[in-house]
Amino acid sequence: MAGDADETVYTKRDHRRAVNLSAVLGWVAVIGVPFFWEAMEDGIDASLRSLFMLFALFGLPLAFVIAWVFVAPTLRVMMRRQTSYTRAIRWGAAIALSFVVLSIAVGRFRGWRQSLDPTFHSQIGGGDYVRSVDGILTPYGWQVLAQNSALFILMCILVALVIRFIIGPGNADGSLEATP
């Protein structure tokens, strides 16, 4: 029956591949690309290689945990119907936006709590580039936060498009034969 919660146009194997791909591609987008961008400017030395190995050693398992705990349920819902590239963009943006909103809420709550403590004094940045003072974001800090959030959402959309390209649109007839 159409609309059943158990119906899907993707196999369980497709779902597992999508979640695992989201973990790996998400890690590459968030850690790998900025890391190698920086390495291209400064060169790769032994300390940078060891730092990258630490990022991989701790970051990849964390990426898989986050993907299976937070992304997998969303993908399960999304993969009940065929997924077009437009739908992948919407879902990628929605998943990213939920992470951004949660991150901003937690970060601003922590900043607010720090601002209430009369013994706490801090400043992140200097000169014209002060991002926060005593836990409260400056206008420049809000701008950096907005830019980073937009880049994160764009990276997640790109990851969603790559996953959609690899997994495919699903079987329109509802048959659960594995897609190549």
pTM: 0.80
pLDDT value, residue 42: 73
Query: In the prediction, which pLDDT does 1 show?
Result: 39
Edge-to-edge, what's the strand order for the sheet holding 136-137? 123-124, 132-133, 136-137
Which of 8-12, 76-80, 160-164, 175-179 is the least confident region? 175-179
Whether residue 7 has pLDDT greater than 70: no
Report H helices in the chain: 12-27, 33-42, 46-66, 72-78, 85-116, 139-167
SS3 category, 177: coil
Q: Average pLDDT in the 71-87 region? A: 91
Averaged pLDDT, 119-148: 88
pLDDT at 174 over 60: no
How far is it, in rounded angstroms, from Cα 138 to Cα 144? 10
- From 18-22, 129-133, 160-164, the region with the lowest mean pLDDT: 129-133
- Token readout for 73 is 């349920």
